[in-house]
Amino acid sequence: MALRIYNTLRRAVETFTPIHKGKVNMYVCGMTVYDYCHLGHARSMIAFDIVQRWLKASGYLVTYVRNITDIDDKIIRRAVENKESIRALTDRMIDALHADSLALGVQPPSSEPRATDFIPQMLSMIGTLQAKGLAYQTKSGDVNFAVRKFKGYGKLSGKSLDELHAGERVAVLEEKEDPLDFVLWKSAKPDEPAEVKWQSPYGAGRPGWHIECSAMSLAVLGYPIDIHGGGADLQFPHHENEIAQSEGASDAYPPVQTSYSADEHAHQAHHAPGFAAYWMHNGFINVDNEKMSKSLGNFFTIKDVLKIYDPETVRFFILRSHYRSPLNYSNVHLDDAKAALRRLYTALELIKPAASQNLSTNQTNELNSLEIDWANPFAIRFKAAMDEDFATPEAVSVLFDLAGELNRSKDSSLARLLKGLGSILGILNKDPTEFLQSDTGSLENGLTPEEIQQQIDARAMAKKNKDFALADKIRADLTSQGIVLKDSVQGTHWERA
């Protein structure tokens, strides 16, 4: 079965065919680093981490670019509020971003360009757009993109220019030729810090948000690319504007002389050279049926959630839902994910010799390194799920069926397979006993492993002395503190509930 991907551009699941055989170029819009990342960011990071992991596991050579926006209105405001430099703020937030992504098992992208390192490339692209009649400078010094002069605008959102105008909420400046026109270069304001003012043919200023990704993608990956991704909230206007800029600046797009009719826009939507062959968008995380976002004040930072839940539990919580589906956040859902993940580790713990052979997360580059038997029925089902638009819920279901068979058969080869398939999803890489005994933060005042072992030894002595009442009391006390004892012929093993 060939890999199929839901392409937002075509609004359909399509068979994936890369531009160059065996190679995939993927660009994903990253974070604007003015604050700590929240769970919505975690979902995007994990969703596209899964995508690039499966592409690698499928034998592709993947170049994965995830940018950092380190110049933006919000960044400037926050730095001024904090009385710190832009660079100090963004460096600090980038360090926090990296700490969060590392904790969540997100593999580093192949390249992580910072917008401020690509100002010359942005100015070059703006110059090309202006030369082709797709951009104009206003009296105030701003440079805007002329939307009506680009055929096919609206093809990603699926809306006509008239529909987009009806939903336009941005105040129209008198200098704009059209309400939908967007800024490519912002003229410097007198009260802005000097470090956000770059010299250009248009005067001192800084780039608009949209041009940043187009220039970075072109500079790092070239044109065109296989996959462009990001959150669903970026589909319009950000990604729509990226298409207009990138395709408009390409050699394949001719110079324009005038505006185009609605019919011509619609025609171009199906015949224009494509900036990206496949567009992917992950769904939102909701809280009480509302999108999690800073603007609504209902967001949870990754670092705060990780004070309560193990990072792998958070990752597992996210990948149990399909990347395009809404995901409802609550402690109940995270607790359920925690319990479910522990069941997988419990199955591995039964076959400790095989389970202790931990696999490196970097081993997903080649199928052979995972030593996965892809002819195994469980592996066949797992591959079928992942090949159908990265269907992680179905893939996880296969893991539970595999764990059930492992519990029954105690077959060490199944333990190896379970760990191998799990590692593709970025889970089950820990030692089972270590994971099951770990304190994830929800038991901040809980017993230490040494204290637990002392109680287990005291219980064993009580049983030896036939003081079963004391033995039962010790067990009950440990249970009340979240410690589960499991007796076997090898002795007593303990886990945290």
Tokens at 188, concatenated: 């410097």
DSSP summary character for residue 141 = S
Is the Cβ–Cβ distance between 51 and 390 less than 8 Å? Answer: yes
Which residue bears the tokens 């956040």? 329
Q: Nearest 5 degrees, angle CA 168-CA 174-CA 177?
A: 70
Q: What is the pLDDT of residues 282-326, one digit of tens each?
A: 999 998 777 777 677 778 999 999 999 999 999 999 999 999 999
The whole-number pLDDT of residue 89 equals: 98
| Cα separation, 201 vs 495, whole angstroms | 66
| Cα separation, 399 vs 346, whole angstroms | 13
Q: What is the mean pLDDT of each run of 10 residues along the chain (497 residues)?
A: 94 96 97 95 97 97 98 95 96 98 98 98 97 95 94 88 64 74 94 93 96 97 96 96 95 62 49 80 88 76 94 97 95 94 93 48 40 94 98 98 95 94 96 83 59 76 72 75 70 69
The whole-number pLDDT of residue 174 equals: 58
Give buried/exposed letters for 218-256 (b at 16+ CB in 10 A, else e): bbbbebbbbbbbbbeebbbbbbbbbbbbbbbbbeebeeb
- DSSP per residue over 261-301, as a string? -HHHHHHHHHHSPPSEEEEEEE--EEETTEE--TTTT---B
- Give one word for 382, left, alpha or beta, with left for phi > 0 and alpha for psi -120 to 50: alpha
| Cα separation, 421 vs 37, whole angstroms | 28
Q: What is the pLDDT of residues 126-184, one digit of tens each?
A: 999 999 999 999 999 999 999 999 988 999 998 888 777 755 544 455 588 888 999 99
Find, among 22, 50, 21, 26, the residue nearest to 277 by Cα. 26
SS3 68: strand
The whole-number pLDDT of residue 444 equals: 47
The neighbour count for residue 289, using CB atoms within 10 Å, is: 7
- CA dihedral 356→107→75→220, nearest 10 degrees, is 170
Find, among 280, 281, 286, the residue nearest to 327 by Cα. 286
**Amino acid symbol at 93:** M
Beta strand 483-488 with 327-328 is unpaired
| Cα separation, 324 vs 210, whole angstroms | 23
